[in-house]
Chain A
Amino acid sequence: NAGVMQNPRHLVRRRGQEARLRCSPMKGHSHVYWYRQLPEEGLKFMVYLQKENIIDESGMPKERFSAEFPKEGPSILRIQQVVRGDSAAYFCASSPGFGEKLFFGSGTQLSVL
């Protein structure tokens, strides 16, 4: 039973480029969450999605960041025109239902040069 799958594991982008991070939840899980972790910091909530719906995006920066979870395929976290401050580990988590414990993926380490 595969866990939460994230790719790529590492992503290097130059300032101004776009970053696309993908997340496939655990089988049977329909709730997806994205968290960001800066070095030596705890995780910060970004967005909560269900299939085709954004439920809560209160943790997302208002500009350049967007997320989707289409009917088919993985959830995508998209960062446009990346800046150095976007460098962080981005973790996706999933749960089988609302309010249940989270299972985290291995994360994508984004480095912006």
Chain B
Amino acid sequence: GQQVMQIPQYQHVQEGEDFTTYCNSSTTLSNIQWYKQRPGGHPVFLIQLVKSGEVKKQKRLTFQFGEAKKNSSLHITATQTTDVGTYFCAGPNSGGSNYKLTFGKGTLLTVNP
């Protein structure tokens, strides 16, 4: 079945350093979504990328969708303690239904102040 893999599993940075998490799908995706889950919290939608090679920015966060639509990345510039949490990528099931998302295992980001 469809698999979505994320690396690294954990990342610890000093405040002010940059952070990147990578996401790879075993199948081509119609779109990819990113979620953030704070410790003890619930996933919160960050963004959806649809087009091949698409790049979107949200303040210090930059999201990229690969040309082949099988990989994606999230880059945070100059991390802050508020960035702490687990970042998940998720892609729709091979059938394309947006609700049936396959999530990666996430990258847990911790930031040392």
Contacts and interface: CB of A to CB of B under 8 A. Distances in A.
A62 B23 CA distance: 31
Contacts of B103: 42-44
Interface in A62-113: 91, 95, 98-107
Main secondary structure of the interface of B (DSSP, over half): strand
Contacts, number: 56
A32 to B, nearest CB: 10
A100 B41 contact: no
B48 A91 contact: no
Interface of B: 4, 33, 35, 41-45, 48, 88, 90, 93, 97-106
Interface of A: 31, 33, 40-45, 48, 56, 58-59, 91, 95, 98-107
